Each structure stands twice: as C-alpha cells, then as structure tokens.
Amino acid sequence: MSQIEIKVPTVGESITEVTIGSWVKKDGESVKRDEVICSLDSDKASFDVVSEADGVLRVKAQEGDVLPIGGLICVIETSAEVASAPASTPAPVASAPAPVASASVAPATAAKVVEMKVPTVGESVTEVTIASWNKKDGDTVQLDEVLCELESDKATFELPAEAAGVLRIVAEAGSTLSIGAVICKIEVGAGSAAASAPVAEAPQSNGQAVTANASNDSYAAGHPSPAAAKILAEKGIDPASVAGSGVGGRLTKEDAIAAQPKAAPTPTPAEQPKAPVAAPAAPAPAPKAADARGQRRVKMTSLRKTIARRLVAVKNETAMLTTFNEVDMKPIMDLRNKYKDKFKEKHGVGLGFMSFFTRACAVALQEFPVVNAFIDGDEVVYNDFSDISIAVSTERGLVVPVIRNAEKMTFSQIEKEIIRLAGLARDNKLTIDQMQGGTFTITNGGIFGSMLSTPIINAPQAAILGMHNIVERAVVVNGEIVIRPIMYVALSYDHRTIDGRDSVSFLVRVKQLLEDPTRLLLEV
C-alpha cells in the first residue's frame, strides 16, 4: 500500500497560511483523481483542493484548522485492494459482464491531460485573478479557443486553449492564483469517450441494469464554496434550491449573489383559510422593508488595489507640489471650428483638444528636459523622447496607455493613436507593454466637470498635467473686459528634481503654445 500526501500549495507571494473551509469528501471515502476533496480559505480567496490519485481519503486536518504553506491536509491511500473495495460484494454472475462496462470507460481514462497554468505576464506581476470563464466545465474546446480572461494589477488578457479536448476547470472565477498555478485541465481526445461513458450498461445479479457511471450527480453538485455558503445563509436560501455553475455543479459566490429567495406559492381559493376579515392585519411589519438600509461588500479588484497602493506610495515618497495657470481656449476653438470638417475628411478622425495638449506638452518637454526626467536611486535619468501617458477612465478603473515618441507625431497621428488606445482600454485589451514606460502624463478631469484639481504623479514619472472644464469667464484683453472660454491647467511635479522655476516656466510655455496654436505648426 502506498500513500500520497496532499499539502497546502503555494497560493500567493504574501500568503503564509490557510484555513480548512469545508470537506467535500469524508474520512475513509473513496476518491477519484482530480476530484475536489475540500476547500481552503486564505485572506485573499477561496480555492479547491483536488485528489492527486485514486484511493481512500485519510483526513489529517479538520474544518477550521489553520495550516501553514506546505502543511499536511490529508493522505490518499492507493493500492489494488482499495481499487477493488467498491466491488467487494460477492456476485459471481455480475462479475462476468464487468469487461463490458470497463471497455467503455477505458478510453476516457487513457486520455492525455494538458494542464493550463498561469503564464508569466510581466516582470513585476506575481499573481492574477480569474475575471470570467468563456467556457464551462465539461465543454469541448478547440486549440487556441479563448477559455477565460485573467486580470492582473496592470492589465487584462485572454487565456487560449493549448490543445483540443474537454475542459476541466480547477479554479473558479474570482480566484486569485500565483504565476505557474494550474487554472484548468484539458482532456485531449476525451470528448467521444466521455460522451459514450454514461450510456454503457452492465446487468447486475438482480436483473436490473445500471450505467457504468454509478451516479449522474457530480460529487460537488449542490455543494457551495465557503463564500457562497455564507451569502446563502444570510439570504436564508437552501443551497439545494440553487443551480451551481462551478466545477461539477459546485455553487460559486456569483451563484449565491444572483440567487433570490423563492416567493411563497399563492394558495388556490380552495386552500384559502377561512378566517375573520381582521386576521390578515398580522403581517403589518412589511412597510419596514421600505426603510431598511442595505449594505454590500465587494472585493477590490487587483487593478483597484494596485492603484490604491501606488497612489499612497507616491504621496509618501515624493515631494509633490502643484502649480496652476489658465488658458484662453478661444484660438484653439476657432481653429477647430474652421478646419474640423476638412481635417476629418482627409484623415478620417476628428480634431480634438487632446492632440493640441499632447503636442504642446511634447514641445515643452524638449525645452525643459528636467520635467521629462525621473529619479532612479541616486541618479536622475533624462529622456530625449516624449512618451506621453494619457489617462483613460474605464469600468475597471483608471489606466494610462502610452503614446510613444509624441514629439515626432502629427496632429492626425496623435488623434488616431488616442482613439486606438482608448478603445483598447475600454475593451480591456491593453497589454502591459502599452501601459509601461511613459515619461509624462496628461489627465483630463474636465470631461467629468472638474473645475480645478491637483493630480497625483504617475510614478516613476516626475510630473503630470491636469486639464479641466472650459468655462466662459470675464477677462481683460488689451484693456477691455471680454468673455472668453477659459480652462484652468495644473502641473503636479516632484520637487526633488524639478524646481519652481522649471515647473512654472514649463506650464507657461504650454499656455503660450495653446493660446497661439500656429506656434505648434511653425515650431516656434
């Protein structure tokens, strides 16, 4: 008899211990390879533990026990006696047809299994979260077909199938996995065998027929994950009344959130209780539901946690200061109104404000290179190019795709690149390379109605320009009071490398270029 020890796997760089959430199988029960035997809870996610072989389960840790990484969870006893244990009842007559049932199952067991693991997606990325599954457990998939979407703290990317076969999901949507962890398995060539296995029948000694698959119910069917069990208990819903979309019919957190209590059936007239008319006044507390105050807890995404961590780090690690100025937008607006139709007709894109600001900043950065630099240890790194990051708001949070070599681009090229990157951002298709390496950032809070703000630097960059809404104001021009469309602009910068003279001069130069856009065309 041999034993296989199942220990707590490495589930994340910062996770040092886990808690046994619940046991799906009991001590002494027979288990199959890849069958879920229990669930583990960490401070970040819940995940399932599967059997590594066929055999008998010997539980070593009980529900609620806290184990370190590498701690012993259970032991699987494997032997010839164990394999024959379920068929220990003597039945000479039933044993003869056994080869008929095993013949139909054999092709499924002989199928090659391809493990799909979390790929290396970036130098600093140590874990990812499964955002959503495009296929379900047991579905047939084709080579290079997209199985699921993975979300890191920097980008979202798709996971294509590495082979054609039957999908076996190991980690549910919402699970956080470390690089190299198993996401799912693909049983190559198991499609036809799996389809034929349930219909194979073997006669028993009592004359009744049973299928080769002893039970149509999955071991996990109707069994909620720890998070799902808690939500269902709070709602007062019986797990048996909820259909599971997880592995083998397991109830996931999303299933529990979507589940609604079943309304009490309306009795027929014959079933109506014959009671006094005043009796129905008993359910009077119902109006309190209108005054009830709800509360929801939503787990932060990896992107949101990273944004929060980086913003706090910037505030704590830089000497950030903000200087302000105002821009008369009338010259740009007049130029756009005059040429926007011809511009769109020739280049196929509209002429927006962002291309003027991007071009103005690219020119100013060449004249004030310290604003385009950053600190690396004890050195200041100066960039001879202007890779300008443009902040884009998405449903997942704020992302900053980079326009490379903006100082060499024309207005039409900038507009096309902005549209392309913004579309990728909103579709969650940006790659990590498209968001790394910027030297300066522009953010436009004006599209949301912001009048004035102090934007936070996008580290390791040293400065960021904040645009705001355009408001008509009374200003003095050539000794006369006139109404002009005015925008406040703000430059937040790291005072460790950028002095007040350089920051103010940079912003004044941007103001000059925007208020006289012909300077951008003539490069003066």
**Best-predicted range by mean pLDDT among 58-67, 184-193, 204-213, 510-519?**
510-519
* Cβ contact 26:77 at 8 Å: no
User: How large is the average pLDDT for residues 191-207?
Assistant: 43
pLDDT in tens, 243-272: 777 656 767 767 777 777 765 555 554 445
> What is the per-residue pLDDT for 503?
95
pLDDT at 92 over 50: no
Name which residue leads in pLDDT, 396 or 461: 461
- Picking from 29, 64, 86, the residue at the C-terminal end of a domain is 86
Percentage of the chain exceeding pLDDT 70: 76
> What is the per-residue pLDDT for 431?
83
Predicted confidence band of residue 2 (pLDDT cuts 50, 70, 90): confident
> What is the per-residue pLDDT for 283?
55
> What is the per-residue pLDDT for 374?
93
- Picking from 86, 111, 139, the residue at the C-terminal end of a domain is 86
pLDDT in tens, 328-385: 999 999 999 999 899 999 999 999 899 999 999 999 999 999 999 999 989 999 999 9
Name which residue leads in pLDDT, 235 or 312: 312
Q: Which two tokens stand for residue 392?
A: 């884009």
Q: What one-letter code names the amino acid at 99? A: P
Helix (H) or strand (E) holding 289: helix 288-291
Name which residue leads in pLDDT, 214 or 41: 41
Q: Which two tokens stand for residue 261?
A: 């209590």
Q: Does any domain span residue 266?
A: no
Name which residue leads in pLDDT, 398 or 337: 337
pLDDT in tens, 223-236: 676 567 767 777 77
Q: Does any domain span residue 4?
A: yes
Distance CA 320, CA 496 (A): 8
Torsions phi, psi of 310, nearest 5?
A: -70, -40
The domain spanning residue 4 has which CATH number?
A: 2.40.50.100
246: nearest Cα among 256, 234, 260? 256
Domain count, the chain: 2
Distance CA 111, CA 70 (A): 30
> What is the per-residue pLDDT for 176?
84
SS3 sequence, 59-113?
Answer: ECCCCCCEEECCCEEEEEEECHHHHHHHHCCCCHHHHCCHHHHHHHHHHHHCCEE
Q: Does any domain span residue 497?
A: yes
Distances (CA, A) of 394 to 357, 362, 429: 21, 25, 12
Alpha helices in 158-252 (DSSP H): 191-196, 226-235
Name which residue leads in pLDDT, 403 or 311: 403
* Cβ contact 453:468 at 8 Å: yes
Name which residue leads in pLDDT, 10 or 105: 10
User: How large is the average pLDDT for residues 474-496?
Assistant: 94
Whose tokens are 């690219």? That residue is: 362
Name which residue leads in pLDDT, 524 or 351: 351
Q: Which two tokens stand for residue 313?
A: 């780090």
Percentage of the chain exceeding pLDDT 90: 32
**Best-predicted range by mean pLDDT among 6-10, 134-138, 295-299, 363-367?**
363-367
Q: Does any domain span residue 438?
A: yes
pLDDT in tens, 118-158: 887 766 677 888 888 889 888 999 888 889 888 876 677 78
Domain that residue 362 falls in: 313-522
Distance CA 396, CA 162 (A): 28
Name which residue leads in pLDDT, 169 or 123: 169
- Picking from 54, 86, 118, the residue at the C-terminal end of a domain is 86
pLDDT at 305 over 90: no
Residues paired with 5 in a beta bridge: 75
The domain spanning residue 321 has which CATH number?
A: 3.30.559.10
Q: Tell me the catalytic residues.
A: 495, 499
Q: Which two tokens stand for residue 234?
A: 């709070």
Q: Does any domain span residue 47?
A: yes
Q: Does any domain span residue 425?
A: yes
Q: Does any domain span residue 394?
A: yes
* Cβ contact 457:314 at 8 Å: yes
Q: Does any domain span residue 131?
A: no
